[in-house]
Amino acid sequence: MVSYRKLEQKLDEKGINKSELGKLAGISSRTIAKIGKGEKLSKQTLRKIAEVLGTDAGSLYEVESDNALLQTLREEKEYKISNGIYHELQVRMAYHSNQIEGSRLTEDQTRLIFETNMIDAGDGIPVDDILETVHHFRAIDYVIDNAEEELTEEIIKHLHYLLKHDTKDSQLSWFAVGGYKKRPNMVGGLETAKPEEVAGRVQDLLKGYNNLKKVTINDIVAFHAEFERIHPFQDGNGRVGRLVTLKECLHHNIVPFIIEDSKKGYYYRGLSNWKEEKGWLIDTCLDGQDTFKALLDALRIPYQE
């Protein structure tokens, strides 16, 4: 459900009724009726209305959700509330996801970057570790803002762009930031999709997933395992994949899971042996979900079991 309370306020301030808005913005009466029903308007329509009212499209509406966690994350993000679930999700997920991939930043350093936009890194901390931590914060913001959108290639590629732009990798002519890999790669000694196969395999994976009538946490874990087997990007696949699991948990009102660095061995074993034994990866993700539930309990945020 979408609230257009802010749009209504703008119309009152300017003395414009909805019929007049439709004529000024060049949109149909049926589209105008969606405002009263709380239905979602297209981005193009919102831009037209924003232009008429002299504001930006994002200031015209608010997404109202029965998903208490998603609603809380959006409120804390918008109002820059510290020490809540948004704060903890940002720090903990950025730290553990980057640590799994070899980042040298500690959790305290990650927290300092998020809280102050500064760091006392000392010697030996690669610049990319710092950049990718900051980029990860922005990627989580993107996930929260777009949680209820259907998962698409565009979203997945944009997450890769958010993580990898301006890094050392982005300066390589053969490294496609926000695009699929151009060179073959392997993960954990296992062969992955060939560059020319990637687009088709990702599209097939998305089609099967998006056609599910009711998505469960097991479905999200399965998508993650198959995505990592495709390994569509030259680098950054694990971080993008884990961000996708966060988005899809928030989309389907499922408590998210964070894979902690201390569970990295179990996580990699689960991914490597997914075809033979699905329980290893599922159990590791459920363990991460239990940890997140304990955090929600401590902050008194309700969630669906």
Average pLDDT in the 166-171 region? 96
Residue 231 in any domain: the answer is yes
- pLDDT tens-digit map of 195-213: 999 999 999 999 999 999 9
On the question of pLDDT at 123 being above 70, the answer is no
d(CA 267, CA 146): 26
- Whether 180 and 277 map to the same domain: the answer is yes
Mean pLDDT of 287-297: 98
pLDDT at 41 over 90: no
What distance in Å separates the CA atoms of residue 49 and residue 18, rounded to the nearest whole number? 11
Last residue of a domain, one of 35, 63, 91: 63
Kindly tell me the sign of the dihedral angle through the C-alpha atoms of 280, 187, 192, 245. Answer: positive
Domain that includes residue 88, residue range: 68-298
Q: pLDDT at position 50, please?
A: 93
Q: State the pLDDT confidence band at 1, using cuts at 50, 70 and 90.
A: low
User: What three-state secondary structure class fits 236?
Assistant: coil
Higher pLDDT, 76 or 58: 76
For the purposes of burial, counting CB atoms within 10 Å of the CB of 113, is it exposed (0-12), middle (13-18) or buried (19 or more)?
buried
Cβ partners under 8 Å of residue 243, min gap 6: 97, 139, 140, 143, 159
35 and 164 part of one domain: no
Q: Token digits for 90? A: 């940002």
pLDDT of residue 119: 87
How far is it, in rounded angstroms, from Cα 34 to Cα 40? 7
**Domain count within the chain:** 2
Mean per-residue pLDDT over the chain, rounded = 94
Are 236 and 278 part of one and the same domain?
yes
> CA 245 to CA 248: how far, in whole Å?
5
